[in-house]
């Protein structure tokens, strides 16, 4: 896997040098409402992905108050961990 990543990086660097590839930056506040485009080509016959994306776009639950990519990543990481059980 490591060699594959190195090959892709080398290829990407070559493409950038030849002006065939570009790097784009997207701020969270201007991209949040476009997250659905990231998953547009994924099969979602049950609507699960759409529901999750709308949850994030609308700033519901854990995603309330998220204003940047770091906070978004932190929220995702906290959700992936088991939540404490309520007593």
Mean pLDDT of 13-33: 87
CA atoms within 13 A on the CB side of 29: 3
DSSP character at residue 40: T
DSSP character at residue 59: T
pLDDT higher than threshold 90 for residue 68: yes
What pTM was estimated for this model as a whole?
Answer: 0.58
pLDDT reported for residue 46:
92
In this prediction, residue 84 has a pLDDT band, given cuts at 50, 70 and 90, of: low
Q: 12, 11, 55, 61: which is closest to 36 by C-alpha? A: 55
pLDDT higher than threshold 70 for residue 25: yes
What's the mean per-residue pLDDT of the chain? 84
pLDDT higher than threshold 70 for residue 32: yes
pLDDT higher than threshold 90 for residue 70: yes
């Amino acid at each position: 896997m490591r060699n594959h990543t190195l090959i892709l990086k080398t290829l990407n660097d070559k493409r950038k040098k030849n002006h065939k590839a570009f790097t784009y930056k997207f701020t969270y506040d201007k991209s949040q409402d476009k997250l659905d485009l990231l998953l547009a080509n994924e099969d979602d016959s049950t609507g699960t992905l759409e529901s999750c994306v709308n949850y994030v776009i609308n700033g519901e639950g854990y995603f309330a108050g998220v204003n940047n990519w770091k906070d978004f990543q932190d929220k995702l990481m906290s959700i992936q961990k088991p939540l404490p059980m309520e007593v």
